[in-house]
């Protein structure tokens, strides 16, 4: 398979994120209830705005360090692993989290978080990571980063459900302030 250059791969990944997570209707694409899209239909509907090929899509899925997308076993369909603003059911199964999880955000959000907790906002879930490094990277996108420690063990024992997406991101509906520290 001929390898696409990094610039084209990044552009394709951003386009796939936009379409599969947020605006499939922008190109008249229909996602099934679990967020899957037919790859051939996606390629056709993306034209002439974006030239996608199956090889390009497959390379983005395989080589993405964040593993944002998943191909079906038969490689006929693709979906985003999380961060949807459109309604989809990823068929996530509740799992027991590690004792502590992390959330990266910007310093300016601290006071609000300590009043309201962490909410999903326009996403389906609050996103948490299993390591500080990932949380720092996420926080840097929003300003001066801070890392929040989430007492996921205590949350889980209080009845809060956790899920883990196919790319390892931990998900929950909300994190109230009593489970958050810096």
| CATH topology assigned to domain 101-181 | ADP-ribosylation fold (3.20.170)
pTM score > 0.75 for this model? no
Q: Topology of 6-80 in CATH?
A: Arc Repressor Mutant, subunit A (1.10.10)
Q: Answer yes or no: are the C-beta atoms of 59 and 9 closer than 8 Å.
A: yes
Contacts of 120 (CB under 8 A, 6+ apart): 126, 173, 174
**166 Cβ contact partners less than 8 Å away, ≥ 6 residues apart:** 67, 70, 81
Look up residue 168 and give its two tokens: 């390892």
Q: Reply yes or no: is the peptide bond before residue 48 cis, omega within 30 of 0.
A: yes
Domain edges within the chain: 6-80, 101-181
What are 80-93's pLDDT values in tens digits? 987 666 777 778 89
Among 152, 147, 107, residue whose Cα is nearest residue 131:
147
List, for residues 44-86, the tens digit of each pLDDT value: 999 888 889 999 999 999 987 778 899 999 999 999 987 666 7
């Amino acid at each position: 398979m001929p390898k696409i250059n990094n610039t084209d791969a990044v552009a394709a990944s951003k386009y796939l994120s936009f379409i599969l997570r947020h605006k499939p209707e922008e190109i008249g694409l229909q996602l099934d209830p679990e967020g899957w899209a037919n790859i051939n239909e996606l390629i056709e509907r993306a034209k002439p705005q974006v030239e996608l090929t199956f090889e390009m899509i497959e390379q983005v899925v395989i080589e993405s360090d964040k593993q944002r997308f998943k191909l079906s076993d038969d490689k006929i369909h693709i979906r985003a692993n999380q961060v949807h603003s459109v309604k989809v059911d990823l068929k996530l199964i509740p799992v027991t989290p590690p004792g502590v999880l992390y959330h990266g955000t910007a310093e300016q959000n601290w006071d609000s978080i300590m009043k309201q907790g962490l909410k999903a906002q326009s996403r389906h879930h609050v996103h948490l990571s299993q390591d500080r490094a990932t949380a720092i990277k996420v926080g840097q996108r929003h300003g001066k980063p801070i890392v929040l420690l989430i007492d996921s063990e205590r949350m889980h024992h209080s009845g809060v459900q956790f899920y883990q997406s196919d790319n390892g991101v931990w998900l929950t509906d909300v994190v109230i302030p009593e489970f958050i520290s810096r």
